[in-house]
A and B are shown apart, each in its own frame.
Chain A
Amino acid sequence: MTTSPQEQQALQDEAFRAELRAWLTAHVTDAFREQRTMTFQEKMAVRRAWQKTLFESGWIGIGWPREYGGRGATLTQESIYHEEMARARAPLAANVIGLNMAGPTLLAVGTPEQKARYLPKILSAEEIWCQGFSEPNAGSDVASLQTRAVREGDHFVVNGQKVWTSYGYVADFCILLVRTDFAVPKHKGLSYLIVDMRSPGVSTRPLVQMTGEAEFAELFFDEVRVPVENLVGSLNQGWMVALTTLMHERATLSFSIIVLFEQRLQALIELSRRSTLHGAPALNDAQARQRLARLYTDVKTFKLNTMRQMATVGQGHLPGPEGSLLKLQWSELNQRLVELAFELEGPYSSLAPDSVEAPFEGRWQYEYLRARGNTIEAGTSEVQRNIVAERVLGLPRQGA
């Protein structure tokens, strides 16, 4: 009997799953358990150590080409990878921006030298990356940014300010979008640079958000000298490079979000077992059950939507504007998810994340506050809807 190519692939996928599961069982030790009470820096230390462990066994960046340290994994295998990570309750990788934004952008448009220099250390988490696009006066309208870079010999000299930079004060490198030509329309005068965060003139300041923690930073650039070989793509073509990054962010970040959602859904079911409504577990309440079933369905369809979209990316297309649909979906879905948790907590919902009386160490309290940022960061829901309207549905631009 011969096996079809599909059956062979399925066997390979199952072998892949078994190998990874065995590896995770052996390697996800207590040292890799994050605690809610840890500071961001402490969590980063755990995640760095974890990513290093992944890297040493070739279990990071698995979808990247082999020549750059990946495994050339198929889409199904990437999905299995994230399922198994969730199942093993593995921590996040440390280098989220490097793996999901800087790395894919360099793979797509970087020079051979840039790829060789940066990609291996993105995978190993030896170098953590951040992204400098948004500015105080350029949020959704990011192309109107004012940070400037002026060519002086074999360097650009950068001056300006960035805001809402994830990992900003732990990062080693920054993908920085700057204006290199002020005389042309706003999208046409931008360039995309790699900036060493230890360069003289770079300073950072934590940006405290409504949760009370500082997950983001503000970046300040004062006469920072950046070698010209750190230009990604061509001079004044930075907008196109940035779009490549943003498309990757919107599309590929979805895989790690799936993992989060699946864990969060299990936690929500656990919460509804423990919470009381009308003298019985909330899990017995018809309305709560309906909402749980809806959320379960939403998480599942988000995962399926991601996989269907990745399939087209896998066929060699850049992630397209359809990624905006996924971003819309996960951000609003997460808000619904934490809202149910908030409401199931009854009187305990009135407590702050740091209250010692808050259930589950205040994690739902925290997530409830944090989720409000989801529909703002990485492109607001309004921007995403505009993108889908114009570029997916082909509706006329505003004012047309």
Chain B
Amino acid sequence: MYLALNDEQRLLAQTVRSFIQKELPASKVREMMATQDAFDEHLWQKMAEQGWMSVTVPSEFGGMAESWLTVAVLFEAFGWGMVPGPFLATVGFAAPLLSAAGSAEQKSRWLSAIAEGNCRASVAYLEPEGGYAFDSIRTTASETSGSYRLSGTKMFVLDAGVADVVIVAAKEAGALSLFLVEKGAAGMTVETLHGMDLSRRLTRVTLNQTPAQKMDTGKDVRQALEHALNTASLALSAEGVGGMQWILDTAVAFAKSREQYGHLIGSYQGVAYPLVDRALDLTSARSAVYNAAYAFDHRPDEICEAASMAKALVSDSYRQAGYTGVQTLGGIGFTWEHDMQLYFRRASGSWSLFGDPIWYRERLLQSLQI
């Protein structure tokens, strides 16, 4: 049925939850967050063994190219579990962009490596100024006898510190193009920013005459980037739905057990009503995400509309869930110790990631020609 999960997808969600409970208890998440890159190679390999790195990689490159609804189910479960590291950047953003804009050779090399668990990848498109618009990109590419060098500064790049390859959007003679920059390339520095979301790293990537490989020139670059923004938005929004579910479950459980003034606090309408509103938000958020996945799977003309809606809706309602979650828990919710803050901080750090809701609402209207 339309927008309903099948048995395999339900099983996948259970499998991921069991995996997280076993491999990623809260203590392990905290431990990873305390490291430089919030990354654990051993965990990454275990995730790869499950086949999760290959869900957005086409089968000709060793991937499983799952339906986007299955991809959404996977990200939702990861979001419930606060999985740290570069999974979103690699699987949700870079792999689809490689598929859309890479040459046969580039795809063969990088997509296969991603599917095998041997590659972390990211996308660098935002800059210190200019907001979310591609037109304002100032990073330049110059060509000398077939080889390219990039110069400029990229901001808010997800997990570039552990990326084996970064896809960089730059202007070549005024025209937007995409380039691949490999780890350790000359003139590239990656600095970690202090992000709201403690589970992933935002970075600044500085390029100074950095050697780069141009991606397939035959493709429409803008279209490819828009496509990858849509997949990344779907993945991030699905993750947000998982996070909202965790927050709601945790807050409701607390409201059922915490007693003040001689009553369970969940019996007070002042406590209960915001939780009801978050339950409705969650229902709508999940609908919007499944709808976006459905558009990817069945209605290509509606992808931009559906992904924009999902991203705008979830960005706002995940944050709102965080407010309610913290408030319901009271004092304990405000502590560093309780995991509620991790979800709230992720919701806050995800709000503008890949574009904020204000930008996506405008994008929605434009895609509807309103």
Contacts and interface: CB of A to CB of B under 8 A. Distances in A.
Nearest to B365: A293
Contacts of A311: 1-4
Contacts of A293: 312, 361-362, 364-365
A156 B25 CA distance: 64
B247 to A, nearest CB: 13
B358 A290 contact: yes
Contacts of B365: 289, 292-293, 296
A393 B275 contact: yes
A108 interface: no
Interface in B228-273: 248, 252, 255-256, 263-264, 266-269, 272-273
A394 interface: yes
Contacts of A396: 256, 263-264, 266-267
Interface stretch (A65-73, A126-134, A241-249, A298-306): A298-306
Contacts of B34: none
A325 B256 CA distance: 20
A282 B364 CA distance: 17
Interface secondary structure of A, over-half rule = helix
A25 interface: no
Nearest to A392: B279
B9 interface: no
Contacts of B248: 393
Contacts of A116: none
A389 B3 contact: no
Nearest to A273: B370
A234 interface: no
Nearest to B363: A293
A385 interface: yes
Contacts of B279: 325, 388, 392-393
A294 B361 contact: yes
Interface in A341-400: 382, 385-386, 388-389, 392-400
A394 B264 CA distance: 12
Nearest to B368: A296
A297 B312 contact: yes
Contacts of B291: 300, 304
Contacts of B313: 297, 301
A389 to B, nearest CB: 4
B98 interface: no
B283 interface: yes
A75 interface: yes
B70 to A, nearest CB: 15
B362 A289 contact: yes
B309 interface: yes
A176 B248 CA distance: 39
A33 interface: no
A62 to B, nearest CB: 17
Given A289-B361, A290-B361, A398-B269, A308 B263 contact: no
Contacts of B362: 286, 289-290, 293
A385 B266 CA distance: 12
A400 B264 contact: yes
A325 B2 contact: no
Interface residues of B, number: 38
B43 interface: no
Contacts of A328: 276, 280
A322 B286 CA distance: 15
A305 B280 CA distance: 9
Contacts of A194: none
B287 A301 contact: yes
Interface string A320-350: 0010010011000000000000000000000
A245 to B, nearest CB: 23
Nearest to A309: B283
A398 B3 contact: no
B22 to A, nearest CB: 27
A311 to B, nearest CB: 5
Contact of A325 (B3, B268, B283): B283
Contact of A76 (B2, B266, B286): B2
Interface string B280-295: 1001101110110000
B267 A394 contact: no
5 contacts: A305-B283, A307-B3, A389-B276, A394-B252, A396-B266
Given A304-B3, A399-B267, A329 B361 contact: no
Nearest to A329: B280
Please name the 6 residue pairs, one residue from A and one from B, whose CB atoms are nearest each other, closest first. A293-B361, A304-B287, A395-B266, A301-B284, A389-B272, A396-B267
Contacts of B368: 296
Contacts of B309: 296-297, 300-301
A75 B312 CA distance: 28
B25 to A, nearest CB: 26
A90 to B, nearest CB: 23
The interface centre, meaning the residue of A304, A314, A392 with most chain B CB atoms within 10 A of its CB, is: A304
Contact of A283 (B255, B268, B287, B370): B370
Contacts of B286: 308
Given A305-B284, A396-B266, A385 B2 contact: no
The interface centre, meaning the residue of B1, B3, B291, B370 with most chain A CB atoms within 10 A of its CB, is: B1
Contacts of B2: 75-76, 307, 311
A215 to B, nearest CB: 27
Contact of A308 (B4, B256, B312): B4
Contacts of B287: 301, 304-305, 308
Contacts of A235: none
Contacts of A298: 284
Interface in A29-62: none
Given A301-B313, A308-B287, A385-B273, A393 B252 contact: yes
A149 B69 CA distance: 54
Nearest to B284: A301
A290 B263 CA distance: 42
B267 A398 contact: yes
A395 B263 contact: no
A232 to B, nearest CB: 31
